[in-house]
Every structure is written in C-alpha cells, then in structure tokens.
Amino acid sequence: METRELTCIQCPLGCQLAVTVDGDAVTVTGNTCQRGAVYGEKEVTAPTRTVTGTIPVDGGEIARVSVKTAPDIPKDKIFDVMAEIRSAHLTAPVEAGRIIIHDVAGTGADVIATKTVKRS
C-alpha cells in the first residue's frame, strides 16, 4: 500500500489530495469534488502530460516551428519525447497541424506542428 500527496489542479481551490493505491484499489481523500477524485486517481495510476517544444526550420520566414504531442504522453516519457523533438529538423513550409514525428518515443502519440511557417 502506497499513499501519495498531490495538489489538485482542477480548479483554483488546489485541494491537497492523498491518493492511496492498494493493489487495484485506488482511494482519493482530501478532494472537494468528483473532478478531484478523477484527477487524483489518474495522476497516480497513469499520469500524462502534453509536451511542447520547438524544431528548427530551414528556409522559413521564421527560424523555428513550435510543436506539441497529440494526444498527451505518459509522464515518465517526457524526456524521451524531448530527445526526439530536439533531434528533429525541418524544411519550410510547415503547416500547423502537420505530423512531424509519428509515434514519438513509442508512446503512440504524434508530435505535430502548432504554427505555420511559410517559406521565406
């Protein structure tokens, strides 16, 4: 049995949650609302994050394009995802929404462009 202390981020209230994992059973205490319970359970069992970064673009009107993971990726893969983003390189044009990296770091998520970079 393991208990983790978390701050709920679902609203400005910022409840201090205690999430206890006992085998398959997860109990959340300290929450004020149901959203807190859902958040607490997910944070402990399968936390995910959106990772954002930039990738250099050759021949573009601007030097870099911003990117994000879609959908979120597991929290423990953040640095693996960053490593792939940081080694990428593009040539203009880049359309917002274009998939830049498929299945980044084996997460099943893609890295997509969040900005349009026209040719210079």
Partner 1 sequence: MEYHDIVVIGGGPAGLAAAVSAYDAGCRDVLVIERDERLGGILNQCIHNGFGLHTFKEELTGPEYAERYIRKAEERSIEYRLRTIVADVSPEREILYVNRDEGAVRMKAGAIVLAMGCRERPRGALGIPGYRPAGIYTAGTAQRLMNIEGYMVGREVVILGSGDIGLIMARRMTLEGAKVKVVAELMPYSGGLKRNIVQCLDDYGIPLRLSHTVTKIHGKRRVEGVTISEVGPDRRPVPGTEEFYSCDTLLLSCGLIPENELSKQVGIILSRVTGGPEVDDSLETSAEGVFACGNVLHVHDLVDFVSEEAERAGRNAAAFAAEGGKTRGGVLQVTPENGVTYTVPQKIRTDAAEKVTLRFRVNGVYRDRCVAVRSSGAEIKRVKRRIMAPGEMEELILTGEDLARCAGGITVGLED
CA angle 66, 68, 74 (to 5 degrees): 150
Which is nearer to partner 1, 22 or 42 (by Cβ)? 42
Positions touching partner 1 (CB under 8 A) are 6-9, 12-14, 32, 49-54, 56, 61-64, 66-68, 75, 78-79, 82, 86, 96, 114-116
Whether 17 and 33 have beta carbons less than 8 Å apart is answered as: no
Q: How far is the CB of 13 from partner 1 (least distance, A)?
A: 5
Which is nearer to partner 1, 67 or 105 (by Cβ)? 67
Q: How far is the CB of 50 from partner 1 (least distance, A)?
A: 4
Specify the DSSP class assigned to residue 1.
Answer: -
Residue that the structure tokens 């954002």 belong to: 52
Which is nearer to partner 1, 2 or 5 (by Cβ)? 5
Q: How far is the CB of 101 from partner 1 (least distance, A)?
A: 15
Q: How far is the CB of 55 from partner 1 (least distance, A)?
A: 9
Dist CA 73 CA 71 (whole Å): 7
From residue 47, give the alpha-carbon distance in Å to each of 13, 16, 44, 80, 104: 21, 17, 6, 16, 17
Which is nearer to partner 1, 22 or 61 (by Cβ)? 61
